[in-house]
């Protein structure tokens, strides 16, 4: 018989407790068991697939449940992976929230605005006073419990909401997309590039390409002030440490940075140079803090290049830089030789 009461009185309408032994998870659904206790290991039924995945009843893995398709809207050729016939950009329109007495007008494809979908609520645990914004009935402290990893041969004890610990979930894997050969370290079936798609920011209505719910500006704006300050300090400290570790002849002075920036324009696109770029990045690739590794660049090119090598970035902008900068040309030749040597070694 389903448990119909919890400490402090009767359950609210449609709210129930999982019937699995020793599980007190509360949720709003018609199932007798919570998602965790309905999860089963299954093998994809698609011929020649054989992927093993965990599911609550699906017969096919996510790759075959949500095939890549072309948007059915007239004039749209965007290809995406999902269960809808029309991509998110074509489904996003200006609309009014259907929640009673709301009246918010927003651009998106959801029937309710973000505030109505993620309201401020109090934790459903009777003795917890936590108030938070979200869609879950209980706060993190009451959803994350001490548990033992269910991985084969693993007895790690951790606090969280997943069945496996971080070590068992994280491994080197190949992207599950049929035409993608990226090998990466993580716990997702698809690489970062394949998870990106055309999206509409629910806060500002701007179209952007990514894998996050909000665009970068709105994501940053919604963070608490103390969190933004902590992230900025951590980034500044990490960059300062990289620059100190990369010095080969003492620190590069501010005057030298300004002189290199003043040599503009941007070597990659010809625009106004507002920043200085490290041709070989300091992070991940062993770049050095020296004038021979610094070139003038605009904010757009510097941010787009990020921590990538020249051989991994936009080749059109790289070829433009090759014609105007000897530093870029020398570094590009060095990276090509490293790439060729790596290919020969791998082949042997």
| 96-106 tens-digit pLDDT | 998 888 888 88
pLDDT in tens, 69-114: 888 888 888 887 777 888 887 888 888 998 888 888 888 888 888 7
Phi-psi group of 232: left, alpha or beta (phi > 0 → left; psi -120 to 50 → alpha; rest → beta): alpha
Instruction: Name the nearest CA neighbour of 150 among 65, 15, 40, 312.
Output: 40
pLDDT of res. 4: 41
- Tokens found for residue 325: 């900068």
Q: How far apart are the first and last CA of the chain?
A: 65
Max avg pLDDT among 44-53, 85-94, 133-142, 259-268 = 259-268
Strands (E), 145-298: 145-148, 157-160, 171-174, 183-186, 197-200, 207-210, 275-278, 294-297
Helix ranges restricted to H, 246-314: 254-262, 299-305
The position carrying tokens 């010809």 is 270
Phi-psi group of 50: left, alpha or beta (phi > 0 → left; psi -120 to 50 → alpha; rest → beta): left
Q: Is 187 helix (H, G, I), strand (E, B) or coil?
A: coil
pLDDT in tens, 153-178: 888 888 888 878 888 888 888 887 77
Q: How far apart are CA 96 and CA 107, in angstroms?
A: 9
Residue ranges covered by each domain of the chain: 247-347
Residue range 184-190: mean pLDDT, rounded:
82
pLDDT in tens, 2-15: 444 444 444 455 67
Model confidence pTM above 0.75: no
């Amino acid at each position: 018989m389903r448990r119909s009461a919890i400490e402090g009185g009767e359950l609210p309408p449609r709210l129930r407790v999982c019937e699995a032994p020793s599980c007190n998870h509360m949720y709003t659904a018609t199932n007798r068991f919570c998602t965790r206790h309905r999860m089963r290991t299954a093998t994809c039924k698609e011929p020649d697939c054989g992927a093993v995945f965990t599911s609550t009843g699906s017969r096919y893995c996510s790759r075959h449940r949500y095939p890549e398709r072309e948007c059915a809207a007239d004039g749209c050729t965007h290809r995406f992976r999902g269960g809808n016939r029309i991509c998110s950009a074509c489904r996003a329109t200006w609309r009014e929230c259907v929640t009673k007495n709301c009246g918010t007008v927003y651009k998106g494809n959801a029937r309710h605005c973000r505030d109505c979908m993620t309201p401020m609520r109090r934790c459903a645990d009777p003795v917890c006073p936590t108030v938070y914004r979200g869609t879950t009935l209980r706060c993190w402290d009451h959803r994350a419990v001490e548990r033992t990893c269910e991985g084969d041969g693993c007895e790690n004890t951790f606090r969280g909401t997943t069945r496996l610990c971080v070590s068992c979930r994280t491994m080197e894997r190949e992207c599950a997309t049929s035409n993608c050969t990226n090998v990466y370290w993580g716990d997702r079936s698809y690489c970062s590039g394949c998870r990106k798609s055309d999206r509409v920011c629910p806060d500002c209505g701007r179209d952007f390409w990514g894998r996050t719910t909000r665009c970068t500006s709105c994501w940053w704006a919604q963070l608490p002030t103390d969190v933004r300050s902590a992230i900025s300090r951590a980034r500044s400290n990490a960059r300062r440490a990289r620059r100190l570790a990369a010095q080969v002849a003492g620190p590069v002075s501010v005057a030298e940075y300004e002189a290199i920036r003043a040599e503009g324009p941007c070597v990659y696109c010809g625009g106004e140079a507002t920043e200085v770029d490290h041709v070989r990045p300091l992070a991940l690739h062993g770049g050095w803090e020296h004038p021979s590794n610094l070139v003038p660049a605009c904010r757009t090119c510097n941010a787009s290049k990020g921590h990538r090598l020249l051989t991994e970035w936009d080749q059109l902008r790289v070829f433009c830089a090759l014609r105007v900068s000897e530093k870029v040309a020398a570094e590009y030749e060095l990276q090509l030789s490293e790439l060729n040597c790596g290919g020969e070694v791998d082949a042997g």
